[in-house]
Amino acid sequence: MQTTDDDVLGAALRWRQEGRAVALATVLETWGSAPRPVGSHLVIDGEGNFLGSVSGGCVEGEVVSEAVDVIVSGEPRILEFGVADETAWRVGLSCGGAIRVYVERVD
């Protein structure tokens, strides 16, 4: 099932209303062959549940892990994944592009 940004943002609101700790990841920039466009969202709760996509699946696991840390610390982060980045190969971004993702806690 493909989710829309409205679904993701709506889930973020519902999850907060349910009392869940929540982070939102947003694609800030892309270069080359990036799997998701600028503005794509992924919402993550404190248990690691998520909805949406920032990379078509190739780096979601890393973003979810970082988002859980952001929820705990409250400090936003900018994550970068690219084909020349060793982390990108480890998490599977071998599509030839690069992405920059902003992760923030939703209070």
pLDDT in tens, 10-24: 999 999 999 999 999
The pTM is what? Answer: 0.85
Return d(Cα 42, Cα 3) in angstroms, integer.
Answer: 10
Instruction: Say how far residue 53 (Cα) sits from the centre of its chain.
Output: 6
Task: Give pLDDT tens digits for 77-100.
Answer: 999 987 655 554 555 555 667 899
Which run of H or of E encompasses 68?
helix 60-73
Round the average pLDDT of the chain to a whole number and report it.
86
